[in-house]
Amino acid sequence: MAQLFEFEKPIIELERKIAELQKFSAEKDIDLSREVETLEKKVSLLKKEIYGNLEPWQKVQIARHPERPNFYDYAPLLFDDFIELKGDRLYADDQAIAGGMALFRGVPVTVVAQVKGKDTKENIKRNFGMPHPEGYRKALRLMDQAEKFGRPILTFIDTPGAACDLAAEERGQGEAIARCLLAMSGYHVPVISTVIGEGGSGGALALGVGNVILMLENSFYSVIAPESCASILWKDTSKAKEAAAALKFTAQDLLKLGVADEVIREPQGGAHYNSRQTADELSAVIAKYLVRLRTESPEALQEKRYQKLRAIGPFQEKSI
Amino acid sequence: MFKDIFRRTKYVTIQSAPAPKRTTAVGTRQEPKTVKKELPDGLWVKCPKCGEVLFIKDLEENARVCTTCFYHFRISGRARLALLADENSFEEWDSEILTLDPLEFPGYEEKLLEAQEKAGMIEGVLTGRAMIEGVPVVLAFNEANFMMGSMGSVVGEKIARAVERAIDLRLPVVIFSTSGGARMQEGILSLYQMAKTSAALGRLAANHLLYISVLTDPTFGGVTASYASLGDILIAEPNALIGFTGPRVIKQTMRQELPAGAQTAEFNQMHGLIDLIVERAQMRSTLARLLRYHQEGVQHGATV
């Protein structure tokens, strides 16, 4: 059973009651169907109430859920074929980033994704989804290939942030990310970036320069982790909940701020309750935008992506 | 014993020109009439590196570089401009773009006002065109005194505009960075300024125009991971701290001790990440030399 959150407990409590009632009714042969029906209605309302009004911090918890589907869970559900390609040709193969060629509804695409592990062992292998420079350079190599062969690029964002250790500094973490930003902004192929879990700062943005930016309903995408923000603002990491609200980083916030183009529905309670259903929603929305983008000329794709970036971030200009 | 003698707590305020005309777009504010002088009151200052007590006048005359150990004190964008550009050649651009508070972030308005007071400018980057030894160039300077040079929507916009104007004018670009990174208070909008500035520099590169990035103390986070790292030529000032993750965060989150000298300009150069380390006194002549190599339609002596 999936790890449960505190805010889900009233639902579980009620569901347990229903199960008990049903068991009792069967054992004693007493008709309790009306009571069960009432409780089931109540549970359904409660779910709507709780899952429909998740606070930013609760979404952070869902987005970081250890069983939340990662790229490797979605890949076989989204693609008819996926050939993973490895290495940056310079240093190593970073397993915090996966990439390769895939067939998406029959269309050859290049795919690049950040990947978190599901358990400690896998997380050590994947550095908890925090890529090193070689990861970004692998992503860049694969995306350049897509540009060369005219393949659309699909990126999937799911990282707490770029690796923040000495090795990353020595190998030029900043430069590796910056190169991705510059390259992505100039491509002549469609680029669709989807945040599927955690979008942690510059390390996430390195795959986020899309013509279209999509976000799963319970994902978030932030300039800084809420814990770090709380530590800076209030010198108290336990105020992450307040920081999560202040940063306005949920999918719904980003839609309002003009960064995200669409929020993709998740199953009630979050993607981890049904990865197939989530993949179906992802597939439908990505396909909708891909069809649109494929009608654009290479020049228009580049220009419109540039204009999208140029328009992000409001300011006021004194008229002269 | 003598340690405290030179520590001053009083700061003198001086008239600064030009004073900012308006403060934030958020409301009508009092004009800050004065800005703090950069050095503590008094005639002396202690070098944080070698401990030498320096006569302030000597320090200022030496471009704020320690006369004993060559430690480069931090310096404002305007002071840097004065050291670099030909006299009266600077034309400032976009000085009237005002920051909004799109997230209504706790304490942001107050932070902005404080920064404006401290830096004597309305936002954290100075942009424009000037001449360096007669070579026309587009310049941008992050302002360390303005919320640690952090990049919000206005900083990103001003840099992008400066780069776009350089393309129109077919001029090279030199950006002096000093920054803690993307500005937290504008959230995701700050993050995307990294993409915005990088995209503009991509266009500059596609137009075969030169971009020199000068990294000064300190340059970190979202600025290192965007425009500061994208120069055709990367220059750093001696000893400047440059990196993606700040040393304190590395120590805290990774429980990793950093070797002495980690993330200095010299460390970055050793790891292949920086072309040149140039002392402040040589910056103007070095930039001029590099710029002349790329000057369009200028003959350099005899034809081969």
CATH code (residue B200): 3.90.226.10
Residue showing tokens 């986020």: A208
B155 to chain A, closest Cα gap in Å: 10
Q: How many CB atoms are located within 10 Å of the residue A50 CB? A: 18
The verdict on A218 and A281 lying in the same domain is: yes
What is the dihedral angle through the alpha carbons of A75, A77, A79, A85, rounded to the nearest 10 degrees?
20
pLDDT score recorded for residue B140: 98
In the block, which residue shows the tokens 């944080």?
B48
For residue A261, the domain's CATH number is 3.90.226.10
A64 and A188: one domain? Answer: yes
Domain that holds residue A279: 60-310
Across the range B8-34, mean pLDDT stands at: 42
Q: Is residue A218 part of a domain?
A: yes
- Number of structural domains, chain A? 2
Q: Which residue in A56, A54, A68 sits closest to A226, CA to CA?
A: A56
Query: Which has the higher per-residue pLDDT, B299 or B122?
Result: B122
Distance from CA of A168 to the nearest CA of B (A): 8
Does A11 share its domain with A131? Answer: no
Sign of the torsion formed by the C-alpha atoms of B189, B191, B195 and B198: positive
Mean pLDDT of chain B: 87
Shared domain check, A33 and A126:
no
Contact (CB<8Å) A181/B244: no
Give B 123-152 residues with CB within 8 A of chain A.
152
Tell me how far apart the alpha carbons of residues B45 and B11 are, in angstroms, rounded to a whole number: 13
Q: Quick check: is B27 in a domain?
A: no
With respect to residue A125, please indicate whether it lies within any of the assigned structural domains. Answer: yes
pLDDT top residue among B57 and B227 = B227
Backbone φ and ψ for A77, nearest 5 degrees, come out as -85, -25
pLDDT of residue B300: 65
Q: Which of A170, A177, A315 sits opposite B98 (nearest CB)?
A: A315
User: Which chain A residue lies closest to B196 (C-alpha atoms)?
Assistant: A309
The pLDDT value given to residue A30: 87
Contact by Cβ (8 Å): B11, B36: yes
Q: Chain A window 258-287: which residues touch B at a Cβ cutoff of 8 Å? A: 259
Residue B71 has pLDDT above 50, yes or no: yes
| Interval A190-249: pLDDT, tens | 999 999 999 999 999 999 999 999 999 999 999 999 999 998 888 888 899 999 999 999
B253, A164 Cβ separation under 8 angstroms: yes
A279/A281 Cα distance (integer angstroms): 5
Task: Give the separation between CA A81 and CA B115, rounded to whole angstroms.
Answer: 54
∠ CA B93-B95-B101, rounded to 5°? 130
* Structural Rg of chain B based on CA atoms: 19
Of A174, A228, A310, the CB nearest to B244: A174
Q: Does residue B216 fall inside a structural domain?
A: yes
CA distance A114 to A177: 13
Q: Residue B40 in 3-state DSSP?
A: coil
The count of structural domains within chain B is: 1
Judging contacts by C-beta atoms under 8 Å, the chain B residues touching residue A201 are: 182, 191, 222
A299 CB within 8 Å of a chain B CB? no
Least Cα separation, residue B290 to chain A (angstroms)? 22
Look at residue A187 and tell me if it is in a domain.
yes
| End-to-end Cα spacing for chain A | 63
* pLDDT of B33 strictly over 70: no
DSSP state of B186: G
Q: Flag whether residue A235 sits within 8 Å of chain B, measured between CB atoms.
A: no
CB A313 within 8 A of CB B156: yes
DSSP A184-243: HHH-SS-EEEEEEEEEEHHHHHTT---SEEEEETT-EEESS-HHHHHHHHHS-GGGHHHH
B4 inside domain: no
Contacts of A254 in chain B (CB under 8 A): 188
CA distance A175 to chain B (A): 5
Asked if A164 and B250 come within 8 Å (Cβ–Cβ), the reply is yes
ipTM of the complex: 0.95
The binding site of B for Zn(2+) comprises 47, 50, 66, 69
- pLDDT band per the 50, 70, 90 thresholds, residue B191: very high
pLDDT at site B38: 54
Which one of B183, B199, B229 has the shortest CB-CB distance to A309? B199
Distance of CA A175 to the CA centre of its chain: 24
Whether A234 is in a domain gets the answer yes
Q: Please check whether residue A132 is in contact with residue A163, taking contact to mean a CB–CB distance below 8 angstroms.
A: yes
B60 pLDDT tier (thresholds 50, 70, 90)? confident
CA distance B260 to A54: 46
| pLDDT(B24) > 80 | no
Give the confidence band of B22 by pLDDT, cuts at 50, 70, 90. Answer: very low
Q: Are residues A151 and A262 in the same domain?
A: yes
- Domain assignment present for residue A317? The answer is no
Closest-CA residue in chain B for A168? B244
Q: How many CA atoms lie within 13 A of A100 on its CB side?
A: 15
State how far the Cα of A96 lies from the Cα of A123, in Å rounded to an integer: 9
Confidence of residue B39 (pLDDT cuts 50, 70, 90): low
**Residues of A with Cβ-Cβ distance to B258 under 8 angstroms:** 166
- Do A37 and A76 lie in a common domain? no
Mean pLDDT across B233-248: 95
Quote the tokens at residue B224: 């290192």
**pLDDT at position B15 over 80:** no
A209 and A261 share a domain? Answer: yes
Q: What is the pLDDT of residue A45?
A: 94
Residue B17 lies in a domain: no
Q: Are residues A167 and A122 in the same domain?
A: yes
Higher pLDDT, B61 or B133: B133
| pLDDT recorded at residue B43 | 86
Tokens of B219: 């340059």
Report percent pLDDT > 70 for chain B.
Answer: 84
CB contact under 8 A, B198 and A164: no
Burial of residue A152 (number of CB atoms within 10 Å: 0-12, 13-18, 19+): buried
User: What residues in A contact B186, CB-CB < 8 Å?
Assistant: 223, 313
Chain A and chain B share a number of CB contacts under 8 A equal to 199
A39 & A132 share domain: no
How far A116 CA lies from chain B's nearest CA (Å)?
A: 18
pLDDT > 90 fraction of chain B, expressed in percent and rounded: 70
Confidence (pLDDT) at B16? 42
Dihedral sign for Cα A300, A304, A310, A316, please. positive
Which residue from B152, B222, B259 is facing A202, i.e. has the nearest CB? B222
pLDDT at B41: 61
Give how far Cα B227 sits from Cα of B155, B199, B276, Å: 12, 9, 17
Cis preceding-peptide flag for B18 (omega within 30 of 0): yes
- Note whether residue A320 is domain-resident: no
3-state secondary structure of A11: helix
**Which chain B residue has the Cα nearest residue A185?**
B199
pLDDT tier, B31 (very low <50, low <70, confident <90, very high otherwise): very low
Q: At CA A117, angle to CA A132 and CA A114, rounded to 5?
A: 45
Span B79-103, mean pLDDT?
Answer: 95
Strand partners, B99: A315
B 199-218 → A contacts, CB under 8 A? 199, 201-203, 205-206
Alpha-carbon gap, residue B71 to B54, rounded angstroms: 12
Find out whether the peptide bond into B218 is cis, omega within 30 degrees of 0: yes
* pLDDT reported for residue A139: 98
Q: What is the domain extent for residue B224? A: 75-293
For A195, the 3-state DSSP assignment is strand
A174 touches chain B (CB under 8 A): yes
Q: What is the pLDDT of residue B34?
A: 43
Answer whether A230 touches B (CB < 8 Å).
Answer: no
Cβ atoms of A155 and A193 within 8 Å: the answer is: yes
**Of B100, B102, B188, which has the smallest distance from its Cβ to A223's Cβ?**
B188
Digitized pLDDT (tens) for each residue of chain A, 320 residues in all: 467 899 999 999 999 999 999 999 889 888 888 889 999 999 999 999 999 999 999 999 999 999 999 999 999 999 999 999 999 999 999 999 999 999 999 999 999 999 999 999 999 999 999 999 999 999 999 999 999 999 999 999 999 999 999 999 999 999 999 999 999 999 999 999 999 999 999 999 999 999 999 999 999 999 999 999 998 888 888 899 999 999 999 999 999 999 999 999 999 999 999 999 999 999 999 999 999 999 999 999 999 999 999 999 999 997 65
CB–CB of B83/B280 below 8 Å? Answer: yes
Query: Which pLDDT belongs to residue A233?
Result: 86
Instruction: With respect to residue B45, please indicate whether it lies within any of the assigned structural domains.
Output: no
Please indicate, yes or no, whether residues A233 and A127 belong to a single structural domain of this protein: yes
B241 contacts on A by Cβ (under 8 Å)? none
* Predicted local confidence at residue A55, as pLDDT: 95
The tokens for B4 are 């405290």
Establish if A2 belongs to a structural domain.
Answer: no
Is A130 found in the same domain as A103? Answer: yes
Asked if B245's CB is within 8 angstroms of A168's CB, the reply is yes
pLDDT score of B21: 44
Task: Say whether B188 and A164 touch across the interface (CB within 8 A).
Answer: no
Lowest-confidence range among A304-308, B50-54, B186-190? B50-54
Confirm whether B91 is domain-assigned.
yes
Output the pLDDT for position B126: 97
CB proximity A232 to B under 8 Å: yes
Q: Using CB atoms and an 8 Å cut-off, which of residues 36-75 of chain B contact chain A?
A: none
Asked if A183 is an interface residue toward chain B (Cβ–Cβ < 8 A), one would say: yes
Indicate whether A296 and A220 sit together in one domain: yes
A262 is a domain residue: yes
Q: Has residue B230 got a pLDDT over 60? A: yes
